[in-house]
Amino acid sequence: GDDDIAIKSGKDAEGRRIGIPSQNIVVRNCHMLNGHGVSIGSEMSGGVQNVLVENCDFDGTNAGLRIKT
């Protein structure tokens, strides 16, 4: 499977130049089936901050939360 929810914020030099982070993200009351759950990355040149995941069911996922580097 693939990412159920993917959080990204820019890629390579262009992402660093613009520099806008993904921020203030709330993932709530959801059901994820198979896949990789909530994934942060891999295109993260702008950064990420303030992510909340609560009251979610992960059924058959590889991970609940996956941070890609």
Could you confirm whether 36 is annotated as catalytic?
yes
Please tell me the distance from the alpha carbon of residue 25 to that of residue 31, in angstroms, as a whole number: 17
pLDDT 10s digits, 5-61: 999 998 988 888 998 999 999 999 999 999 999 999 889 899 999 999 999 999 999
Could you confirm whether 2 is annotated as catalytic?
yes
Can you give the pLDDT at residue 39?
95
**Is residue 1 over pLDDT 80?**
no
Domain boundaries, the chain: 5-67
Please tell me the distance from the alpha carbon of residue 5 to that of residue 18, in angstroms, as a whole number: 23
Can you give the pLDDT at residue 69?
80
Catalytic residue (one of 3, 31, 36, 57): 36
**Is residue 3 over pLDDT 90?**
yes
Please tell me the distance from the alpha carbon of residue 16 to that of residue 30, in angstroms, as a whole number: 32
Can you give the pLDDT at residue 23?
97
Can you give the pLDDT at residue 15?
87
